[in-house]
């Protein structure tokens, strides 16, 4: 794709609509929005300007101007999509629409355990609003707390509490479309709705999914379900000998399916000892949690050499508790930034990473097959293999990092080459990626080609209908507007 320059007249129109301080064009200002996890000399995904709207009306004005001048936009909320491209656009030359200034927590409802947020609200912000309001609620947070609730949810991101499947804990969106219209999904389509954040469907087809991992709209409000603060929080750690990934995973499956374990466990291998470990937590009334722990202990008692370590805490005291490691805090709803240190530890001061994330069924067989598939590629390319495996009731999401020094062009190139090899190998084996870096969106979209590309044709038809000038995030998830499909 060739870069599309922004016409000066479009910049003038943005300035007129948003004010001078909300339109950034200087090179040093744009540099801050670059994907920090690529080689510093590459600029394949460079923005031509950044606009910072402060209201829904300003977002509509931006979309109108983009249509008038044929300017491609790329939306981000906080731009912390690290490992997948940061704030960078798929199409070089796009104007970034940064929603950082739309950062109000519009409502926290303790009675019904939900919040309504604007896109610039980070996980830190939402947790702080819940704390400051004295609400007895638990927010699901990903391992890095600085990203936005909206961006993470729209990208199908994960947290580690009982509402950790973020896309399934979303309830109601407000979206600016490519033609400037604003729609509200779900019950929000009723003018005086009383149930926008409490009932996920509405009358007719559900539209919410169309705006996730998509380039059909700019989300300006989102409802998010929270968990009532439990009486008791009990983080658990189960470890097994290095060859026992399969039995560990198979022992977890019934616990998730029957809902004894209600959060999102993470399975990892300790690089020092080689032991595999599962991290998860129990939440609820103490008597129930005690009973659940007994069931958990029995589930792992048949595994030779298994160790279960659990610690019981009051549900409200996680932020103040001593001696919790970063994941025990995250599973207790306390956001942090500790994972950034791991990238530095493995990749150096200027370390970066790509996140390679295939999905398998939740069986020990598939877990081992995926490790056996990926590991030789990592070893061949000289990268450390150590996936963080997200466990859901029926699937495993392998978040397999490729960590490198972003100042070393050769290693950065090797990391991107490894990613392409891995995507090819997992795609052939029937395992799809749940999300991908900008540089691989076309390649991955190609793998979802059943029925002679039926899903692509569907996506393109919807794109053309809702965004006829193709101004919203061209190329996202491999979906290009009609005028740009030639280059595909």
Per-residue binder mask for ligand ADP (CB under 6 A), 89-118, x = binder: ----------x-------------------
79 is an interface residue for ligand ADP by CB under 6 A: yes
Q: What is the dihedral of CA 54, 60, 65, 66, to 10 degrees?
A: 100
- The label of the residue with tokens 């290095």 reads 242
Task: Supply the residues annotated as catalytic.
Answer: 84, 434-435
Among 60, 67, 75, 140, binds ligand ADP (CB under 6 A): 75
CB 311 within 8 A of CB 280: no
**In the complex, least distance from residue 215 CB atom to ligand ADP, rounded to whole angstroms:** 7
- Closest CB to ligand ADP among residues 151, 178: 151
- Closest CB to ligand ADP among residues 253, 476: 476
- Closest CB to ligand ADP among residues 53, 235: 53
Q: Which stretch binds ligand ADP (CB under 6 A): 151-159, 280-288, 290-298, 426-434?
A: 151-159
> How many angstroms separate the CA atoms of 187 and 196, rounded?
5
CB 142 within 8 A of CB 123: yes
Per-residue binder mask for ligand ADP (CB under 6 A), 188-227, x = binder: ------------------------------xx--------
Among 155, 355, 366, 467, binds ligand ADP (CB under 6 A): 155
76 is an interface residue for ligand ADP by CB under 6 A: yes
- The label of the residue with tokens 């355990």 reads 113
> How many angstroms separate the CA atoms of 414 and 402, rounded?
10
154 is an interface residue for ligand ADP by CB under 6 A: yes
CB 76 within 8 A of CB 444: no
Q: CA of 423: how far to CAs of 105, 122, 131, 438, in Å?
A: 38, 31, 42, 14
Sign of the C-alpha dihedral computed for residues 173, 11, 36 and 121 taken in this order = negative
Among 48, 152, 292, 353, binds ligand ADP (CB under 6 A): 152
Q: CA of 406: how far to CAs of 42, 281, 346, 366, 438, in Å?
A: 10, 35, 12, 32, 17
Q: How many residues bind ligand ADP (CB under 6 A)?
A: 21
**In the complex, least distance from residue 286 CB atom to ligand ADP, rounded to whole angstroms:** 35
Q: In the complex, which residue's CB is closest to ligand ADP?
A: 151
Q: How many CB atoms lie within 10 A of CB 204?
A: 7
> How many angstroms separate the CA atoms of 340 and 68, rounded?
41
151 is an interface residue for ligand ADP by CB under 6 A: yes
Is residue 416 classed as helix, strand or coil in its secondary structure? helix
- Closest CB to ligand ADP among residues 219, 306: 219
Q: Which stretch binds ligand ADP (CB under 6 A): 148-156, 177-185, 387-395, 398-406?
A: 148-156
Among 87, 108, 238, 415, binds ligand ADP (CB under 6 A): 87
**In the complex, least distance from residue 97 CB atom to ligand ADP, rounded to whole angstroms:** 8
- Closest CB to ligand ADP among residues 152, 239: 152
**In the complex, least distance from residue 255 CB atom to ligand ADP, rounded to whole angstroms:** 30
Residue 394, φ and ψ in degrees, nearest 5: -130, -10
476 is an interface residue for ligand ADP by CB under 6 A: yes
Among 34, 45, 78, 184, binds ligand ADP (CB under 6 A): 78
CB 101 within 8 A of CB 53: yes
**In the complex, least distance from residue 219 CB atom to ligand ADP, rounded to whole angstroms:** 4
56 burial level (CB within 10 Å; 0-12, 13-18, 19+): middle
Bridge-based pairing state of the strands 95-98 and 49-51: parallel
**In the complex, least distance from residue 399 CB atom to ligand ADP, rounded to whole angstroms:** 14
Q: CA of 140: how far to CAs of 130, 145, 213, 450, 481, in Å?
A: 12, 10, 20, 34, 35
> How many angstroms separate the CA atoms of 425 and 370, rounded?
10
Q: By C-alpha distance, which of 210, 400, 230, 430 is closest to 315?
A: 230
CB 430 within 8 A of CB 370: no
**In the complex, least distance from residue 96 CB atom to ligand ADP, rounded to whole angstroms:** 10
480: left (phi over 0), alpha (psi -120 to 50) or beta: beta
245 is an interface residue for ligand ADP by CB under 6 A: no
**In the complex, least distance from residue 84 CB atom to ligand ADP, rounded to whole angstroms:** 7
- Closest CB to ligand ADP among residues 152, 269: 152
- 115 alpha carbon, distance to own chain's centre: 19
Among 119, 284, 332, 352, binds ligand ADP (CB under 6 A): 119
- Closest CB to ligand ADP among residues 38, 77: 77
- Closest CB to ligand ADP among residues 71, 249: 71
- Residues contributing to the site for ligand ADP (CB under 6 A): 75-81, 87, 99, 119, 147-148, 150-152, 154-155, 218-219, 473, 476
């Amino acid at each position: 794709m060739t870069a599309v320059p922004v016409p000066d007249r479009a910049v003038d129109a943005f300035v007129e609509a948003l004010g001078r301080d909300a339109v950034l064009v200087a090179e040093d200002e744009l540099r801050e929005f670059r994907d920090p996890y690529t080689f510093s000399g590459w600029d394949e995904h460079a923005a031509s300007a950044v606009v910072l709207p402060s209201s829904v009306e300003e977002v509509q004005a931006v979309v109108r101007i983009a249509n008038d001048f044929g300017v491609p936009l790329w939306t981000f909320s906080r731009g912390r999509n690290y490992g997948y491209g940061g704030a960078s656009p798929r199409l070089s030359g796009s104007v970034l629409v940064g929603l950082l200034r739309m950062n109000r927590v519009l409502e926290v409802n303790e009675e019904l355990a939900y919040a309504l947020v604007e896109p610039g609200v980070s996980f830190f912000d939402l947790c702080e609003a819940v704390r400051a309001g004295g609400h007895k609620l638990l927010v699901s947070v990903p391992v890095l707390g600085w990203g936005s609730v909206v961006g993470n949810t729209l990208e199908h991101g994960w947290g580690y509490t009982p509402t950790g499947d973020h896309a399934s804990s979303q309830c109601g969106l407000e979206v600016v479309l490519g033609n400037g219209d604003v729609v509200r999904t779900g019950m929000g389509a009723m003018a005086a709705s009383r149930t926008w954040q409490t009932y996920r469907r509405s009358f007719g087809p559900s539209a919410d999914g169309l705006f996730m991992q998509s380039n059909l709209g700019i989300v300006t409000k989102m409802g998010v379900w929270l968990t009532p603060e439990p009486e008791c929080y009990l983080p658990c750690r189960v470890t097994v000998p290095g060859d026992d990934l399969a039995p560990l995973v198979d022992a977890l499956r019934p616990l998730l399916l029957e809902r004894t374990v209600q959060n999102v466990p993470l399975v990892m291998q300790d690089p020092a000892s080689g032991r595999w470990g599962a991290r998860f937590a129990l939440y609820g009334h103490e008597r129930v949690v005690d009973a659940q722990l007994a069931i958990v202990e029995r589930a792992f008692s048949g595994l030779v050499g298994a160790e279960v370590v659990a610690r019981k805490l009051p549900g409200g005291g996680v932020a103040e508790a001593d001696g919790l490691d970063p994941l025990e805090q995250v599973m207790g709803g306390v956001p942090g930034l500790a994972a950034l240190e791991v990238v530095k530890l493995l990749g150096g001061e200027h370390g970066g990473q790509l996140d390679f994330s295939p999905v398998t069924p939740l069986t020990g067989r598939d877990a081992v097959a995926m490790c056996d598939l990926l590991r030789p590629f990592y070893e061949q390319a000289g990268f450390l293999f150590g996936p963080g495996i997200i466990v859901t009731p029926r699937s495993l999401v392998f978040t397999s990092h490729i960590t490198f020094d972003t100042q070393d062009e050769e290693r950065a190139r090797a990391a991107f080459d490894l990613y392409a090899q891995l995507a090819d190998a997992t795609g052939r084996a029937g395992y799809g990626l749940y999300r991908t870096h900008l540089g691989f969106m076309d390649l991955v979209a190609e793998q979802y080609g059943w029925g002679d590309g039926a899903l692509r044709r569907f996506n393109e038809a919807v794109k053309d209908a809702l965004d006829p000038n193709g101004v919203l995030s061209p190329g996202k998830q491999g979906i290009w507007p009609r005028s740009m499909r030639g280059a595909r």
